[in-house]
Structure 1
Amino acid sequence: VINSHAGGRTFFKCTKSPVHKLPGVQAPKGSFTISAVSRGKELMMTLTPVSSSGKSVYILCNMGMTGFFDACPAGALHKHAHLCFYASDGTVLSYVDQRRFGTWRCMSGPEWPSDRGPCPVKEHAAFRLAVVEAVRARPGLFVGKPICQVMHDQSLFNGIGNYLRAEILLRAGVPPFASAKDVLAKLAGSAEEAAGHNNKNSNSNKNSNSNSNSNKNKNKVSKNDSKNKNKNNSKKKDLLTLCRDVPREVISMKLSKYQGGTAAVPTSTLQEHQKFERWLRVYSQADASWAVDKEGRRIWFRGPPGALYAKCAKKTSSDDDEGSKAKAYKTTASVLKKPASKLSAPVAKRAAATKVPKPTRKTLLKRPAAASARKKL
C-alpha cells in the first residue's frame, strides 16, 4: 500500500493522533517522498526530502496485531488512523491500528535491529542458513524446547506468528510439542543436500540427451519416474521451506487476519476476514485440537501433540491429569477441556472434602443490621 500510493506523490506534513502515547514524527522540512521496505514483522519507512539540503527520516514500524497502512482522501480518514502523511494531491497515507499494539520509532539510519533474524520470505537463503548455523553452534538453545516455542523466537523465525506457526507445522507434519532440537537437526544438511540433488539432476539430464535412439523408450520411462518423484517431493516440503511458502500464500492471495476494506467502509473487513478463514486448515478450526504453550499462546494442531507436551504445555486450573489429557486431544476440540462426569472417584472425593460451604441467606441478611446498630451507638 505504501509504495503503490506514495509512488509519484509528494508529501508535506505528518501528524499523530492525540490519543496515541507514542511520540510524533518530525518529518523533513518542505516536501518529501515516501518509500518502504518490509522485513518479517517490521517495516522501514524512508521520508526523503525533495530538497537536496535536507536529511532523510527513517521510521521503523511494527504492525502489532491489527496495524496496517491505508490510503484515502483527507476527508475519509479511518477512525483509528494514528500516524498520517498528507500528500499534495489531497490524499492521506495513514497508519491504522485499532488495538494500538503496533509501534513506530525514528531511526538514525536504515539499518534493521540486530535482535531480528532474516526474513523467511524475502531472505530465505539467509534465514535458512541462520537457523542451521544456530542449531550447530548453539545446540543448548533448543534442548528441552518444543518446536512451537522456538518458532516464536523472532531472532530466528522473524515474522512467524501464532497462526503461521500452526499452519506451517500442520503442512510439515510436525507435532507442535516435538523436540525442536530433533526437528531442526534433521534440516541441518538440507541446504547442501538440495544443492547436491540439483547437480545430480543436471548431470542426468545431460547424459539422457546424449543417449542413442535405441534407448528413447527407457529415457521416457525414467523421465516419467523423475517427474513423479518431483511431485511427491514437492508435497513434502520441509519446515524451513514452508516458513517461506505459507506466508507467500497469504501475501499472494492478499489475505489478512484482521484488516480489509477501505477506510471509509470499515464494515467490508468481514468479507476479507472470511477469505482468510477459508484459507486456514487448522488455526482456530472447530475440529482441531489446541493447547497452551509456556508463552500463554494457544497452538492449534491435529493428531498427537508431541513428546514434550506433558512437560511444556502450560498448566491451568482446567487442566486434567496426564492420562486424561492424552485422551482429550483426540476426542475434543480443546485439549484442556474435560466433562465433569469423567472425574475419577478419588478426585471427586477430595474435591468434596475441601469444598467450603456457602453462608446461608439468613446469615447474610443479619450482618448489615448488626453493623448499622454499632454505628448508632
Structure 2
Amino acid sequence: MREKTLLVQAGRPDQDTPHQVNPALVRASTVLFPTVEAMQETRQRREAGEQIFSYGVRGTPTTHALEDAVTVLEQGDRTLIYPSGLTAVAVVLLTFARPCDHVAIIDTVYPPVRHLCNDYLASRGVEVSYFAPSPEGMKAVLQPKTRLVLAETPGSGTFEVPDIRALAAMAHENGSLLAVDNTWASGLFFKPLTQGADISIQAATKYICGHSDTMLGTVTVSGAAFMPLFETTTAMGLCASPTDCYDALKGLRTLEVRLRRHEESALRVARWLAGQDTVADVYHPALEGSVGHSIWKRDFTGSSGLFAFSLAPELAARSTALVNTLSHFGIGASWGGFESLALPVKPGPIRTASAWAGPETIIRLHVGLEDTDDLIEDLDRAIRRIST
C-alpha cells in the first residue's frame, strides 16, 4: 500500500465481522485472566517484549494500535508511546546514557533537552558534549565512550538541516547509536530509520495529534535498540493515556492532508516574507538558497508549517512589538496545531558548540490552516505598523 492508504488503515485490526471504523477506546488498570496460569503466561510474554494486554500501565489495545500505526509511518520495527515528547527523549537518554558514558547532543536541540542533559545527566556522571549541526561538528566531539548521539532535523529554532546519513555512518563506525528528533517532518516527510538512524523520536503533541489539545511522545526503533528501551519504560512505569492515544490515532488519519496544507501555506508566507525589503532572512529549509536546502531536497519529501525569519537591522529591535501587533497569529509555545503561532526567539544564549551568526532575535512562525491571504495581510499590517 502507498503511504496515504497506510495512514488510513495502519493500526486497525483486520476483521471479517461487522466492526467500528476506529479501534476501540480501551481504558483499564486491572486486566482479568481466566486462570493464574494464563496470567503468568501473559506476563512472561510481555516481559519478553511482546505487545500484549497485561496491565493498564503496560498499554491497552488502544495504545498498541497507535504503536502499530506509528511504526508503519516511521518504517521501523517497534514503537513505544509516552505522555509527552520530552518524556520520549528523556527515556532514550536514560536508557542509553549511564554513568561514565558520553553522549553527543546537536547544538540546535530543543532547549528543555539541554536542561535535562546539563542539570540531570551531567550531575549523575554522564559526560555531555554539544556539536555544531554538521558531520564535522559531530566528529569533533565523538569519543570511544560515546554511547549515544542525539540529533534534530531540522533544528526547530534555526532550521539547520544536518546530514543524517553521514551522522549515522559516523556514529556506527564509532560504536554509537544515533537518535533523531523527527517532529518537524512528523514521520511523513522524513524517515530517519531509512537513513541509518537507530531511533526516531516525535513529540506527537505537534502534527500527529494536530489540534493543540493532546500531549504525547513516540519512540520508534529498528534493530536491537528496542529491548533496552522497553525495559527502561517498564521499570519506570511510564505510560500514556489510552484516551490520548485514541485522539492521536484520529489525528494520524488526516496527517497527510493537514501537512500538505501546512506546507503549501508556509511556503507561500515564507516566499512573501523573502520578497520584503523589511525582512533580512527567512529560515526555511525548503526555500532555494537556504542553508541545508540541498540535504533537505535529497532526504525529505516535504516540509511542515514551522520556520523563522528576521527583520532588517533597522527594525530588528522591534521584533517583539511585531509579534504583539499580529492579529491572526497566537503567541504561545508548541506548534503543529491548526492555528498559526508567532514567537520571538533568541538563538544565541542556547548555543554552546557553535556561535549563532544571525541576528539577536528571530521570529518563529507556525503557519496553520487559516486563509493564507489573511496571514500575509496580517504580517504586512504588523510590519508596516512597526516601521512607522
Fold equivalence (TM over 0.5): no
- TM class by shorter chain equals under 0.3
TM-score, reference length from structure 1: 0.24
Between 1 and 2, higher relative CO (CA 8 Å, sep ≥ 6) is seen in: 2
